[in-house]
Amino acid sequence: MKIAFIGLGNMGGGMAANLVKAGHEVHAFDLSPDALARASDNGCATYTSVREAVQGAEAVVSMLTNGAIVDSVYGADVIGQAPQTALLLDCSTIDVATARKVAAAASTAGYAMVDAPVSGGIAAANGGTLTFMVGGDNAAFARAEPILAAMGKAVIHAGGSGAGQAAKICNNMILGATMIATCEAFAMAQKLGLDPQVFYDISSKASGQSWSMTSYCPLPGVGPQSPADNDYQGGFATALMLKDLKLAVAAARDAGSQVPMGTRAEELYEAFAAAGNGGLDFSAIIRTL
């Protein structure tokens, strides 16, 4: 397929490269010349504007920073510029309301669209092992699935428009709160005289087990390789976790849902980011404990 890819940052760059590896013709755009150069090295054709990139596209995939940018890019440069037959796939993590607004605008203009945020981080984006949570009707999902499968290990239909975003922010609220609890437990275990590796060996096989522990342990030298073993560089930045927690707490407020753990996680990550740690992996919050 001829696929336009908009947004070639830490996640989008690897995703676009995997579409090329799957045999697709990828027309890429980003505001960063360095990102465009990397995309070119990975086999993408690069363009100087979104409108140029989407010309003649059979699908448009976007990985953008926030809802305002998604709304602007689709409203000004994708809808009405890409062929009406093109499938639109937004993989950004944004608020549910904006996802539904953009999908409605696309539908009114005759396009099929899905919201398909991801879980897995930079390594999974590069390795093609992302999990996609997809919102949209059945027909749009059926068209989107093979495109997303070229970039991920799991593609799950969450429901109608906006459902993918709802699943993503609920999932990452669990992740943020669980990581803090995992960090607390490791710090406490050490102060109680437990060896971190021994505690890991016990808890990873007991009821305290979680992804934050067994796949992403926040202590260096314990468990599988994680950003903790690289001085908390790479991985999933604290600033991005904070963004997702803010989206989750705002959505909970709008829905009348009580999320005390999610709210406290947002407060702790906000303080951690404000102290100059926004670029560190989110597991680095163990340093505050």
Strand-pairing partners, residue 119, are 131
Q: Which one of the listed residues 168, 191, 243, 246 is annotated catalytic? A: 168
CB 11 within 8 A of CB 125: yes
Half-sphere exposure of 203 (CA within 13 A, CB side): 24
CB 168 within 8 A of CB 117: yes
The identity of residue 194, as a single letter, is: L
The reply to whether 101 belongs to the active site is no
Output Rg (C-alpha) for the chain, integer angstroms. Answer: 20
- Residues contacting 54, CB < 8 A, separation 6+: 4, 6, 27, 60, 77, 78, 81, 82, 86
- Name which of 106, 107, 103 is nearest 116 in CA terms: 103
Residue 281 is classified by DSSP as B
- CA dihedral (13, 14, 15, 18) positive or negative: positive
Strand-pairing partners, residue 175, are none
Kindly report the CA angle at 128 between 122 and 133, in degrees rounded to 5?
80
How far apart CA 6 and CA 64 sit, in angstroms, is 7
Q: State the angle between helix axes of 163-191 and 196-203 in degrees (0 to 180), rounded to the nearest 10.
A: 130
CB 258 within 8 A of CB 103: no
Residues with catalytic annotation? Answer: 168
